[in-house]
Structures are given as C-alpha cells and as structure tokens.
Structure 1
Amino acid sequence: MSSKTKIVVLHMKEVIYTAIFLILAVVAVILLVVMFHGKNSREPNSEATVSTSVNQYTPGVYTSSIELNGNSFDVQVTVDKDHINSVELINLSDVTTAMYPLMEPTLEDIASQIYATQSTENIKYSDDNKYTSMLLLDAVKSALSKAEVSK
C-alpha cells in the first residue's frame, strides 16, 4: 500500500485577490437589495383611503401663482361641487421647464394622489423632490382654499 501525498501550493497573492473579490461581491449584493427594497417603501400607498370629511367646493377653475427666480407660473385646480377634477401647471415657459425639470413630473405624482383621495392630506413624495413637492402642494392648497364654500 502506497499512499501518494499531494502537495498543493497556494500563492498568497491569489488568495488575497479571491478574498477581496468575494467581499466586493457580497457588498454589491447587499447594496442592490438595500437600494431596491428602500425604493418600494417610498412609493405612495396604493390603497389610499378617501377622507371621511367631504369638502364642498364652489365649482370652477382656481389658480395660485408661483414665482421662482423671476419666472412665474400658475397651478390651476378645477373642481366641481364635491370633487377635485384636475390639477395642472399653466403659463409654464420653456425657460422655467429647462431650469426646473422636476416641476411637471412632480405635479403629476401629487395630482394622481389628490385624485385618488380627493384630499391634500397625507400626500407622499420621495426625498429626491421634497422641496418641489412641498412648493407645488402649497400652491394646490392655496387654490383649493379659494374654492372652499364658506359655512
């Protein structure tokens, strides 16, 4: 019976490189999981509940002005007796659109939430466009305050 002894030679450089690549792969996987999992938690709740207090509006079209660095434009809100029908930007120049490219997509996101809940309460927005959302939401609230029926 003869046993053959095998000798394995590992170069320390190869071991170190392999360990580094394994660590980088694990970090990349963790980073991807955190990025995509965090994005889902920031999305607005699709099961938004309609507010129990129904606001009564005077039917019509109401506007609120916004001025940014000398460029002004309006947020227009159209309402009927008890519904918010549309929210849109008007008088938005090409210069303003170029300087503030997040205005239109942010308003579309806010408007879809307003249509679903018929309220400006509990509107969710991402951290990427927080200040743009707050500015537009304040303008929408200002226009709606003009539409509310005095009791």
Structure 2
Amino acid sequence: MSSKTKIVVLHMKEVIYTGIFVVLAIVLAVVLFMMFGKSRDADTASAKAVYHAGVYASPITLNDNTFDVEVTVDENHINAISLVNLSETTTAMYPLMQPALDALSEQICQTQSTENITYTEENKYTSMMLLDAIEKALEKARK
C-alpha cells in the first residue's frame, strides 16, 4: 500500500481573497438578521404610540354656519391644525378665528400638548372654543 502524499500550494493572494469573502458573508448574515429578525424596538414603538395616524375633524357651529377644525397626527406627534369648510361669511363675521387658530396651532405643535396654552385676552373666547374643538379631535385620534 503506497500512499501518495499530496502537496497543496496556496498562494497568499488566494488566502486573502478567501478571508475577505468569509468576513463579508458574516457581515451580510448579521445585517440580514438585524433587518429581518424580530425587533423589540418595533414592538415598544407601537406600544408607545399615542395616536392613530390620520386627519381628524371636529365640527364647530356659529350662527348656522358649520366648519371643521382638522388635526393631522402621526403615531406620536401633532403635525398640523387647520380650519376647513370655513365660508367667507364666517370669516367676515369672525375675523379673529384664523389668527387665533394660528397662535394655538403653533403652540400645540411645538409643545405637542393642549395643556398650558396661552392666548390673548381679546381672543379668549375664540381660543377657548377652538381649543375645545382641537381636544375633541385629538380624543378621536387617541388609542
């Protein structure tokens, strides 16, 4: 029984290429696992969501004129507040409506809350009415 000895000659270039490909394969496997594996962050993010994303409206009626206060939210933020279906008649009769809403909207979007909102004395009742409508729309958006 004769045994033939085989000698394998490896070039250094081949060893380096093989090592690089092995490292890249491991990195790819880790990245794919992190991307498609079940993540705990997604579960906690959905558990911490405050609102259902969407646009929610609350109606206001003044002298037989009805218009809506629309609040746009995503899962965790109040993004925008606006008046819709506001007729020119209502705008002419209540000229402080839009400036009062703009002031409230800026504060609410900045603080992400309807608590501790300030308004001027001349817009007091208009601001209170708008704030009540905004809170009703946010209540619809809450989970």
TM-score grouping bracket, smaller chain normalisation: 0.5 to 0.7
Instruction: Encode CA deviations 1:74-114: one digit per residue, 9 max, x unaligned.
Output: 00000000000000000000000000000000000000000
116, 134, 141: which is aligned to 2:135? 141
Distance 1:73 1:61 in 2: 15
**Shift of residue 55 of structure 1?**
6.8
> For residue 119 of structure 1, what is the amino acid of its counterpart?
S
Kindly indicate whether residue 60 of structure 2 is the aligned counterpart of residue 72 of structure 1: no
Structure 1 segment 83-102 matched on structure 2, within 5 A? 83-102=77-96
Distance 1:136 1:55 in 2: 25
| Structure 2 unpaired stretches of 5+ | 1-47
Instruction: Encode CA deviations 1:8-44: one digit per residue, 9 max, x unaligned.
Output: xxxxxxxxxxxxxxxxxxxxxxxxxxxxxxxxxxxxx
Kindly indicate whether residue 106 of structure 2 is the aligned counterpart of residue 106 of structure 1: no
Moved over 4 A (4+): none
TM-score (norm 1): 0.62
> For residue 118 of structure 1, what is the amino acid of its counterpart?
Q
Distance 1:135 1:59 in 2: 24
Aligned to 1:5: none
> Which structure would you say has the larger Rg?
2
Distance 1:129 1:78 in 2: 23
Higher relative contact order (CA 8 A, sep 6+): 1
Percent identity, aligned pairs only, is 59
TM-score (norm 2): 0.66
Q: Specify whether residues 95 and 85 from structure 1 end up closer, same or farther in structure 2 by C-alpha distance, changes over 3 A only.
A: same
Aligned to 2:111: 117
Distance 2:142 2:114 in 1: 13
Two-structure CA RMSD over aligned residues (Å): 1.1
Secondary structure of the structure 1 residue equivalent to 2:117: coil
